[in-house]
Amino acid sequence: MAQNSHVLYAREPGLDVAEFRRVLVESGLGEVRPVDDEARLKAMLGNANLVLTARLDVEGKPLLGVARGMTDFSWVCYISDLAVSASAQGLGVGKGLMDEARRMLGPSVAISLISMPDAVGFYERIGMKSMPAFWFSRKG
């Protein structure tokens, strides 16, 4: 990150699909997300009711990370994507996105997600509890 800059966290429901795709690819999630299907990426963004971004506070405000989820703003929020560009990993951006989600949702809303195997340690370090999950596989 640039010296003398900081990260801005914000709700960004109109996030550009190309920026979203870039962060998915750079984070490593591009291997398990439909990054070559623009219509599906648009639907993923358009149907999420919580899209949080982390942007570097410099000219152009480059996107460093995104948290995308669905919530009722009352009981639970499911985070379907937490993606941080490789160049910003290890700098607290992912934790910052999760902290911002918790701040926006408030203490009465639980947060759940399904972790990629390589990210389990991250979620444990930020204080999330591991719980059983169940899954119907998708076709396509």
Q: Strand 110-113 vs strand 50-56: parallel, antiparallel, or unpaired?
A: unpaired
When divided into structural domains, the chain yields a total of 1
Domain residues for the domain of 105 are 7-125
CATH number of the domain that residue 97 is part of: 3.40.630.30
Whole-angstrom Cα distance, residue 28 to residue 10?
Answer: 23
| Within-domain flag for 31 | yes
| Within-domain flag for 131 | no
| Within-domain flag for 130 | no
Whole-number mean pLDDT of the chain? 94
CA 15 to chain centre: 12
| Within-domain flag for 44 | yes
| Within-domain flag for 75 | yes
pLDDT tens for 102-124 read: 999 999 999 999 999 999 999 99
| Within-domain flag for 2 | no
pLDDT tens for 75-93 read: 999 999 999 999 999 999 9
Note the pTM of the prediction, 2 decimals: 0.92
